[in-house]
Amino acid sequence: MGLYPQPNVWQCGPFALKHALVSLGIFADEEEITKIAGAKWWSGADETQLGKAARHYNCELLVLREHEPVAAKRGLLSYLRKGIPCLLCVYNWGHWITVVKEVKGKFIVLDSKDKAVLTIVTWSELRRHWIYYDRKRKKNLYDYHPVIPRVRVQTRAKFSLARVKHMRRPENRLLALCWDEFLADLSDICKPRTPLSENVMSMGEFLRRHEAMIVDQVTFWHGKIQPKEARKILEHMHFVADTYGLIIHMEDENRAIAGLSSVLALWAAAEYGVDKIYAPKNGNNH
């Protein structure tokens, strides 16, 4: 899982739905979506098939249509401003993308054709790719498909222009590729912020207090990694936590220290290998 390009030309629909679900804090594998939707290599998936898959994840995929660009933009924005992602079929109905937010006239898009997936487009660019001309009816069509959760979701991704630019940097490629894994680990340590949240701290505040200690301990235990590499992993976790508005309750502070230390130690062991522990150096057990 994660945010990475589609491996072929026909799975854009399942990828687009996966990206919409990610923005709602719901995680699904594109292969599972492909199977549920019944997408095929020769035809891909249409809105009916994607709607079937959305229902499996307790969401509803609406089918809406406008004929004029002003009305289409207004309709699209009405959902984006509620935090509802929308699927669009672009390039003459040849490719699916997911629009998640509009900021100062620019649209944040998850496009599985793009190497970095997350991208930013202007309204004129989006309109040009979105429009479909129905030759039979001699009308322009702007179809859009909001993905609406049937139940209240705990947290939504708060993408911004700055966050998209950050994730598109080559040095942050791991952040995008392992997005789901970072959030899964954080979900055992953090909680979503709610209006009733009290006595809590952000991940940024938590790391300000404890990052140095955690990094020092893990690099001491392992003995091979550079502290900056461990800090980069924590930086990625900080970014994901802030994107979803995750916080740590004060009473869970020690538990969070143990949790992040364990995750970082497991990362170091998997990345660099582990020597035997509590074994005599000369191999003599007597």
β-bridge mates for residue 23, sequence order: none
What's the DSSP call for residue 180? H
The 10s digit of each residue's pLDDT in 155-179 is 899 999 999 999 999 999 999 999 9
Q: How far apart are the C-alpha atoms of 209 and 260, rounded to whole Å?
A: 13
Q: What pLDDT score was predicted for residue 123?
A: 97
Measured over the CA atoms of residue 206, residue 208, residue 212 and residue 215, the dihedral's sign is: positive
Which positions ≥6 away from 140 have C-beta within 8 Å? 67, 68, 69, 131, 132, 133, 134
Token output for 189: 């340590």
Q: How far apart are the C-alpha atoms of 152 and 29, rounded to whole Å?
A: 21
The 10s digit of each residue's pLDDT in 67-103 is 999 999 999 999 999 999 999 999 999 999 999 999 9
Q: What pLDDT score was predicted for residue 186?
A: 93
> Which structural domains are found in the chain, ordered by start?
12-149 (3.90.70.10), 178-272 (no CATH)
State yes or no: pLDDT of 196 exceeds 70: yes
Q: What pLDDT score was predicted for residue 221?
A: 79
Q: What pLDDT score was predicted for residue 284?
A: 61
How confident is the prediction for the chain on average, in pLDDT?
93
Nearest by Cα to 36 from 22, 21, 49: 49
Nearest by Cα to 127 from 117, 145, 146, 141: 141
State yes or no: pLDDT of 116 exceeds 80: yes
State yes or no: pLDDT of 243 exceeds 90: yes
Q: What pLDDT score was predicted for residue 286?
A: 55
Q: What pLDDT score was predicted for residue 146?
A: 98
> Phi and psi of 72, rounded to 5°?
-65, -45
β-bridge mates for residue 128, sequence order: none
pLDDT band at residue 280 using 50, 70 and 90 as cut-offs: confident
